[in-house]
Amino acid sequence: MEEQLFGPVRFLPGENRGRYPYCNSIYIEGAGILIDPASNRERLIRLRAEHGVKMVWLSHWHEDHFMHLDLFDDVPLWVSSLDAPPLADLSTFLEWYGFSEEERCFWDPILRDQFHFRPRQPSRHLTGGETINFGSLSVDVIATPGHTPGHLAFFFREPSLLFAGDYDLTRFGPWYGDLFSSIDQTRASIRLLQKIPAAIVVTGHETGIFIQPSNGLWERYGAVIAEREQKLLDFLEEPETLETIVESWIIYGKRRIPKEFFAFGERVHMKKHLEDLQKRGIVVNENGRYRKIIPSGFRE
């Protein structure tokens, strides 16, 4: 992918097509604002030297969106107040993912060394519903919880460009596996983003740029949630433990390595779905085994 300029909004593609552990970044020329600094370390060093970075915004707290934030320790940081706590303390960061003790031991050195985690306190909180003006450019800050509690999207009015962050329109679908993630809020945020009249949608990963996005784009992305749920219900023809559900690889399709990373993703998403299905009276947990029931009026 190549850099592209939409008015004053510059798209900075991430390494490896913006796939994890990288993401696509946004730079607002003139204002000197860098959003999600995890695209390409050398490019961001050059950007600061040649153009200047006056401020960093984060769409949310995840490590693949702040990997090179350490390059901007002396630059003001703006983020939602709801996503600020894990950025200030590594222990809180690990807690918010819901890691086990074993997983914490795996992730602690990775976050320090690969992702350059350094505790940061924002100098200002971004709030959904506010509009920030930079001369001829206006930015609407949009609260889009679900992926994280304080996930934000940004609509740049004049170029009619929406930066959707980690609502990334990939075939993988949405992530809602953190301790404070929410399936219901994820669905609602996808519906909200779908209604924004953007001529261009920019996302944090992979394809990254969608010009005149088709009507079915957001629907296909959101439908992944229902597809995962249905696969889980199909698997629950017989009572199953969480361990056997994880080993069915509903999210990733097959066993992948490193297991510490992918098994975690399977487990946390399946737990979210099981909690949701229990709340709706579709699944029950009996002695550690999950069993599907069909309540009155429910059809798969």
Q: Which two tokens stand for residue 192?
A: 């909200």
Three-class SS of residue 266? helix
Query: Could you tell me whether strands 200-202 and 9-12 are parallel, antiparallel, or unpaired per DSSP bridges?
Result: unpaired
Please, are residues 249 and 201 in contact by the beta-carbon 8 Å criterion?
Answer: no
Three-class SS of residue 79? strand
How many Å apart are CA 135 and CA 297, to the nearest integer?
A: 55
pLDDT, residue 52, reads: 97
* Domains defined for the chain, CATH in brackets: 4-219 (3.60.15.10), 236-292 (1.10.10)
Three-class SS of residue 96? helix
> Would you call the peptide bond into 21 cis, given omega within 30 degrees of 0 as the criterion?
yes
Please, are residues 289 and 239 in contact by the beta-carbon 8 Å criterion?
Answer: yes
How many Å apart are CA 187 and CA 167, to the nearest integer?
A: 11
Q: What is the pLDDT along the chain (300 residues), one digit of tens a residue?
A: 899 999 999 999 999 999 999 999 999 999 999 999 999 999 999 999 999 999 999 999 999 999 999 999 999 999 999 999 999 999 999 999 999 999 999 999 999 999 999 999 999 999 999 999 998 999 999 999 999 999 999 999 999 999 999 999 999 999 999 999 999 999 999 999 999 999 999 999 999 999 988 879 999 999 999 999 999 999 999 999 999 999 999 999 999 988 889 999 999 999 999 999 999 999 999 999 999 997 545 554
Give pairs for 51-60: CB < 8 Å, separation 24+: 51/27, 53/27, 55/31, 57/33, 57/126, 57/154, 58/83, 58/87, 59/35, 59/151, 59/152, 59/153, 59/154, 59/163, 59/165, 59/166, 59/204, 60/147, 60/148, 60/150, 60/151, 60/152, 60/165, 60/166
pLDDT, residue 295, reads: 58
Q: Give the relative orientation of helices 216-235 and 183-195 as an angle to the nearest 10 degrees.
A: 160
How many Å apart are CA 145 and CA 97, to the nearest integer?
A: 15
Q: Pick from 242, 161, 168, 165: which is nearest to 197 by CA?
A: 161
pLDDT, residue 298, reads: 53
Residue with tokens 């629907």: 219
Q: Which two tokens stand for residue 73?
A: 């320790």
Q: Pick from 293, 298, 300: which is nearest to 239 by CA?
A: 293
Q: Which two tokens stand for residue 201?
A: 């949608």
